[in-house]
Structure 1
Amino acid sequence: MKRRSLMAAAVAAACSGLLAQAPAQAQDKPIRIGVPTAVQLQVGRDTQEAIQMAIEDINAKGGVLGRKLEMVVADETEKPEAGINAIKKLTAEEKVDVMIGGYTSGVTLAQLPHIARAKTIYLGVGAASPAITQRVKKDYDEYKYIFRVGPIHAGHQARQVSGFITDFVVGELGRKKVAIVGENAKWVQDLVPILKKSASEGGADVRFTELFDTQTSDFSPLFSKVRDSGAEFMVVILSHASSDVFAKQWHDSQMPMPYGGIDVKSMDGDFCERIGGKSVSEFAANFAVRAPITPRTEAFFDEFHKRTKRSSVYTGFFANDSVYLYAEAVKKAGTTDPEKVIPQLEKTSYVGVAGLIEFDEMHDVKAGGKHPNLLFAQWRQDCGREVIFPKAIRTAEPIMPPWLKK
């Protein structure tokens, strides 16, 4: 009996010791941030670099709940199949606590069921289709894990490009006749009908619209149609197509009109230089450049440039914001349990690089006013950029292509 009592006491002591170790072991385990992104593109490189910037900053201050943060990357390329495999790798194999990333709307839409099935929080920073967060509204219990930190969705972008056309192209430049061209991709299909309608209602004379294949390498037939339409300004909406080739051919053919719009590759900090300055005078939409947009904007761009010698594209600064707002939600929840973190994320009010990050009932980032917006920056002769629109934050006066008179 005495021996059994001693053994029982020993077992109890051992169990007590294991229980005491459990919280310490949990604290030692890092919080893992999965990053599904197109790693070969600048959107992917900037996503990773910006997340690492935030991780190093937070870890230097003690981490989150006493735990360090670490990053795990999976290449989703621009293909749905690869994107699905990236989600499976991060959730099933790497067992990440949260995912921050994304780029292509078609890929993200294919990933959604797999994200929901894994019950892992996903903070999107690249894809713009409204259909992504509409899933949250249609089936909250299934898709509540999905949030879009950026960019503002395609519908908001269409309305803000329309404002650029109405207030700047028509209102300031006096160029009422416009053509709208874009790549044949899901997000553009969502955007162009809204854009055409709202621009027309705003006083623009939309002479021509056309969507072209993303693999197009010769834009001369398209440019001929635009010329024949009598357009005085060409609005472009493209991301996956070759912006480099488009800009070069626009320059070399000396199109009799300026152009601008949403040109994702033209958001790259080295875009002008890598095509030999042939984008000079293009008005390229962005969500932030180095300008006093929020208290975080210039500091972020300066630190990012210090680390990389380049200027971040939009996925970078939205990814950087995502790490901080997720960390804040985890602190408030006192755990990384998604069921407890999600209600805290829904209450997010975080001053980010491009504006105040708050979510609507669909977990979509709010747009307009103090929230993120499109701004239009123009490439200049020195391959620098100046903010042209909105006029309230303009940093220089607009210029025309060198072969056109004012």
Structure 2
Amino acid sequence: MNERGRRDGGEFGANVRSETLDRRTVLKVTAAGTTGVSLAGCLSSDELITGSSSDEETITVGLLAPGPESDFVGRSMAQAAAVAVDEINDNGGINGQDVELAVGDTNGSPLEARRQYQRLVLEEKVDVTVGMFASEALVNIMDDIAEQETLHLTAGAATQIASRRVHDEYDRYKYHFRVGPTNDVDLGRAQINFMNDIATDIGWESIAVLVEDYSWADEPWDIYQEQLADTPVDVVMDERYPPATNDFSELYDDVVEAGADAVFISTAHTGTDALLDWSYPNRPEPRPQPRPFAFGGIHVPMQVPTYYENTNGACRYGVGYSAATEESEITEVTPRFVERYHDAFDSYPQDMGYYAYDAVALFAEAAERTETTDVDELIPELEEIQYTVATGTVKFYDTDHVHAHDRVYDEDDDTTVGIYFQWQENEDGEGVREVIWPEEYATSEYVTPPWAVASEDR
């Protein structure tokens, strides 16, 4: 790997080795057709087997994920859902019925997401669908969810469009619930809470706000514009930069000129370029002077557990936002899930993997409580449920809330969702994601990059 790390498609790249779990769990991973795949081959072509079970004694969960054979996010979602299904079967299934998992590859396309959704519901006869990473893809299947009257538990997409439809046309769209992450409005609120609670304590007294110009970031950007001025932090620069940006040198020159202590970034698609242009000493020769500011915020690539190796350590000192990490203990469920995932796949889940696991577990709990998979009984149960999963306690906004059926975000109770972590290096020279906020989940204190200096010292 060169000193710039992996730019060419490597933001979510990693090799994950799969190990065998209980073969009662059956995956049907499909892109252009239906193929039975053992859990051991969740996503490994050399483990393909023929045939699959589908009978009245089996409950089928359909997962929608991007490129589960090639994309780290999609693979993590599929493997996490498989862990959840295997746990359920180890505990007797759902109401005594075995559970299997059918996976639809959305291929990062709203059109393919719709095709895979229809295949799972109409051909695989799934009892519930979970997942859906991209907001555009979720919006594209909302009418299908309504027409098929099949429960869908989102694990991935943050758009508030889905929940607004539930609010505006409840009888039509009531089948949609969002297990995680929080919707895009609450995602922005969470960043404001971080700024209020800890930013100045870690030396971020002035920030430069950089937000990539993609639709997913529209609501967080609006929240920043409305609320950052009321935090203890001084916003010395804010800018939405173009989607095609792959060189941040001029932007960072402006950050230095503005005297910011930190770049506060919101990025999913451009995150690695932004990180590598900041990181020191991981820039190519001749190396310019290190950027004298810290770096962090919503940074999707940093959520990948192998990112330290993928970037040759360039993400050290970078700060990111996530559902959980392999170091965290959000609830008693978190380390249990992480351990089982690691034992099975010799890897750790990415952010969306936690939510996929939680969505399957939540469906199983609701079905056990109602003793049925009938959607008309599951919906009122879910509307009242409070259930502890790997990412915290799930409960949903009321039907009269503008974000009906979205997961509740409330910083004043145990429904707060999301933690801030920092990539640090342990004594063995390995990269670890240590939780630095909220305090009750912290596994380490924030470490200031050695090249970052306070604005008054420049």
Q: Is the TM value for this pair above 0.5?
A: yes
Looking at structure 2, the residues matched to 119 and 258 of structure 1 have their Cα atoms a distance apart, in angstroms, of 48
Looking at structure 1, the residues matched to 259 and 318 of structure 2 have their Cα atoms a distance apart, in angstroms, of 19
Looking at structure 2, the residues matched to 387 and 66 of structure 1 have their Cα atoms a distance apart, in angstroms, of 39
Regions of 4+ moved over 6 Å: none
Residue 51, structure 1, aligned to residue 81, structure 2: yes
Looking at structure 2, the residues matched to 336 and 306 of structure 1 have their Cα atoms a distance apart, in angstroms, of 30
Give the TM-score taking structure 1 as reference length: 0.88
Structure 1's unaligned 5+ residue stretches are: 1-25
Partner of 1:192: 221
Residue 336, structure 1, aligned to residue 336, structure 2: no
Looking at structure 1, the residues matched to 328 and 377 of structure 2 have their Cα atoms a distance apart, in angstroms, of 36
Partner of 1:211: 240
Amino acid paired to 1:147? F
Indicate how the Cα distance of structure 1 residues 62 and 397 shifts in structure 2: closer, same or farther if over 3 A, else same. Answer: closer
Residue 299, structure 1, aligned to residue 341, structure 2: no
Looking at structure 2, the residues matched to 358 and 117 of structure 1 have their Cα atoms a distance apart, in angstroms, of 25
Partner of 1:270: 306
Instruction: Give the number of aligned pairs.
Output: 380
Amino acid paired to 2:57? K
Partner of 1:312: 349
Looking at structure 1, the residues matched to 220 and 198 of structure 2 have their Cα atoms a distance apart, in angstroms, of 19
Displacement, 1:220? 2.1
Aligned runs of 1:113-262 on 2, under 5 Å? 113-170=143-200, 172-239=201-268, 241-251=269-279, 252=283, 254-262=290-298
Q: Secondary structure at the match of 2:238?
A: strand
Q: Secondary structure at the match of 2:158?
A: coil
Displacement, 1:200? 1.0
* Per-residue deviation, residues 215-255 of structure 1 (Å, max 9, x unmatched): 4322223223323332221111112x132222111113622
More off after superposition, 202-211 vs 274-283:
202-211
Partner of 2:65: 37
Greater fraction of residues in helix:
1
Looking at structure 2, the residues matched to 59 and 230 of structure 1 have their Cα atoms a distance apart, in angstroms, of 56
Contact 1:279 1:379 in 2 (8 A): yes
Contact 1:354 1:371 in 2 (8 A): no
Looking at structure 2, the residues matched to 222 and 80 of structure 1 have their Cα atoms a distance apart, in angstroms, of 32
Looking at structure 2, the residues matched to 344 and 202 of structure 1 have their Cα atoms a distance apart, in angstroms, of 38
* Per-residue deviation, residues 126-148 of structure 1 (Å, max 9, x unmatched): 11122221111111111001000
Larger Rg: 1
Contact 1:105 1:129 in 2 (8 A): yes
Please, which of 136, 140, 148 is the counterpart of residue 106 of structure 1?
Answer: 136
Please, which of 380, 385, 402 is the counterpart of residue 424 of structure 2?
Answer: 380
Looking at structure 1, the residues matched to 370 and 223 of structure 2 have their Cα atoms a distance apart, in angstroms, of 39
Contact 2:210 2:264 in 1 (8 A): yes
Displacement, 1:29? 3.3
More off after superposition, 362-371 vs 133-142:
362-371
Contact 2:361 2:389 in 1 (8 A): no
Contact 2:65 2:133 in 1 (8 A): yes
Amino acid paired to 2:375? P
Q: Secondary structure at the match of 2:202?
A: coil
Contact 1:325 1:348 in 2 (8 A): no
Displacement, 1:28? 4.2
Residue 363, structure 1, aligned to residue 405, structure 2: yes
Contact 1:51 1:323 in 2 (8 A): yes
Displacement, 1:213? 3.4
Q: Secondary structure at the match of 2:431?
A: coil
Q: Secondary structure at the match of 1:384?
A: strand
Displacement, 1:68? 1.2
Structure 2's unaligned 5+ residue stretches are: 1-53, 399-403
Partner of 2:24: none
Q: Secondary structure at the match of 2:434?
A: strand
More off after superposition, 366-375 vs 229-238:
366-375
Looking at structure 2, the residues matched to 225 and 318 of structure 1 have their Cα atoms a distance apart, in angstroms, of 37
Indicate how the Cα distance of structure 1 residues 175 and 59 shifts in structure 2: closer, same or farther if over 3 A, else same. Answer: closer
Indicate how the Cα distance of structure 1 residues 394 and 142 shifts in structure 2: closer, same or farther if over 3 A, else same. Answer: same
Contact 1:106 1:186 in 2 (8 A): no
Looking at structure 2, the residues matched to 236 and 330 of structure 1 have their Cα atoms a distance apart, in angstroms, of 40
Identity, % of aligned pairs? 29
Q: Secondary structure at the match of 1:49?
A: helix
Partner of 1:392: 440
Q: Secondary structure at the match of 1:311?
A: coil
Looking at structure 2, the residues matched to 297 and 372 of structure 1 have their Cα atoms a distance apart, in angstroms, of 15
Indicate how the Cα distance of structure 1 residues 217 and 184 shifts in structure 2: closer, same or farther if over 3 A, else same. Answer: same
Q: Secondary structure at the match of 1:210?
A: strand
Contact 1:169 1:233 in 2 (8 A): no
Amino acid paired to 1:370? D
